[in-house]
A and B are shown apart, each in its own frame.
Chain A
């Protein structure tokens, strides 16, 4: 049964050209990030490399996307920037998703005061604009990659709590949950073995979409100087650095900016495609 659904979903997914574009972009970005040290033209330029002779060069045959203020190859730094962005996204989601989904499931399934408590706390987190909450947290922490991950994770979990809450509330009225309860299965068993697996497809779809949006928020943070610090290659800080030298040295800003856009776009198309495919398959 599962196999049939999967193949139907895959068929649906494959038929949509935009979903395939998304899959292609995501595959490309992941490969570039993983193999950055091998595919980057100048792997040493990822760190605190300095070459003043070749500083601020426009795009050329040797440096396709030009060089930055201290002579580092922008293309190479974009590949390593993808690496940093992807690691950040994955860590943020690995922290935020289990916390959010766990709390949301418990609130939705058990109801009562525990529901009220968890969901009001969630409301509090959701009533501070996302970027502002992350910035406020960064305001009291050292600007490092790890702290940026923590700040973004703190602002991210409530969205998963909301999602899991709605899912588990509707699932807990389904026949199979009642059946499990009637035969005397313990509550925790029902929650973990019956409710949770049926919420997972929606959660995974959201995760795919969110990889892109975490990259977007994290790059916004570092654009403001509140995220990853140099010399770590980061797309947001590259845009910010180059923006000071517009319009003359446009390549320092435009290429990293487009790189962010492509990453968010890719994950978005892939996520949308997955959602459509799974919806239809069910």
Chain B
């Protein structure tokens, strides 16, 4: 482990913290600077002036902007995101309730993206310009250009309505009790509790939404992996391995794929994090009771605290994922990991 590696991580942590502060300012600005009285917008045109005043007081809207921001950050550090005007509960409680469902969906989609996207990309690169390659390229292009909500609707139409092999909506069938909550992931909780039928039920419910969410990422991953693997196939060390007479399989997995993974990993991190945006669409179609659905409801109900809280949590997750990916890239890249040994 080299000092360069830790230095890379240190710099990354510092910029992430800085960006997170920036994000909090940006969200705050969006919420407060946009013309119109947030209290009036939240309460609707029928509210009395007194009600509006009361809410303005509660949201600190009568203070100056810097004071408001300071209050916002102070409460944030106390783990307080205010009350949701839509559910009438603390926003943190709402997020705690809804976040696991979204994370479960995103994690499943992320696994699908990696397990399907990378092999497809490698396959296409190995059979470059052959039929396999063209088919993979066409499919991945379709993945990228089709909006997530269109995938969701099409998958639902085909697998839930016409073939009737998968459930239409929700996390569990009616009458099935959620497994005892440990992680909030129904599939994992059911496994931990040994409830096999509940596991099967939760799993069948997550297949369609996770697939709809993953398809854009699968397309991106396959395209990118194909491009970077194809590029490494032209490198001298692959030629050398071929000259040594190593098997195609060994060359593909060991010599061509590994260096090609570094650029793919960065983009996959971005795609994985972007799934949080796609989750808004998928959850809307499949009535998935997650944070994204809550986010849409708060937006439609003009719930100031709810919107700010949701966006903040999602951005924090986005930043953390990207940071982890950068660390993984630094770890995978021998030029960074082994720099000390090189130097001397």
B153, A246: Cβ atoms closer than 8 Å: yes
Kindly state the interface size class of chain B when it binds its partner: 35 or more
Interface residues of B in 12-42 (CB under 8 A from A): 15, 18-20, 22-23, 25-27, 30-31, 34, 36, 38, 41
> With A and B bound together, what is the CA distance between A252 and B273 in angstroms?
32
Contact of A261 among B15, B34, B150 (CB under 8 A): B150
Partner of A135, one of B22, B147, B280: B280
Tell me if B233 counts as interface (CB < 8 A to partner A). Answer: no
Q: Which of B30, B31, B162, B281 contacts A223 (CB 8 A)?
A: B281
Closest-CB distance, B15 to chain A (whole angstroms): 7
Binding site secondary structure of chain A: helix
What is the bound-complex CA distance between A253 and B299, given in angstroms?
A: 24
Most buried by A among B38, B150, B276, B296: B150
Query: Is A250 an interface position by the 8 A CB rule?
Result: yes
Q: Are B318 and A127 in contact (CB under 8 A)?
A: yes
| Contact indicator B157/A139 (Cβ below 8 Å) | no
- Restricting to B110-155, which residues have a CB under 8 Å from any CB of A? 141-142, 144-150, 153-154
Asked if A250 meets B38 with Cβ closer than 8 Å, knowing A129-B318, A139-B302, the reply is no
CB distance from B227 to the nearest CB of A (A): 12
Stretch of B43-51, B187-195, B247-255, B307-315 lying at the A interface: B307-315
Give chain A's interface residues, CB within 8 Å of chain B: 120-121, 123-125, 127-133, 135-141, 212, 216, 219-220, 223-226, 236, 239-240, 243, 246-247, 250, 253-254, 257, 260-261, 264-265, 268-269
Ordered by A's residue number, 15 sampled pairs between the chains whose C-beta atoms are within 8 Å are: A124-B25, A129-B314, A130-B274, A130-B277, A132-B280, A135-B295, A136-B307, A140-B38, A140-B41, A216-B145, A220-B149, A239-B149, A239-B153, A261-B150, A268-B141
- Besides A219-B147, A224-B284, A239-B150, 4 new A-B residue pairs in contact (Cβ under 8 A), listed by A number: A121-B22, A140-B302, A141-B34, A265-B142
Please name the 9 residue pairs, one residue from A and one from B, whose CB atoms are nearest each other, closest first.
A124-B22, A131-B277, A247-B161, A129-B277, A139-B299, A264-B145, A257-B150, A140-B34, A265-B145
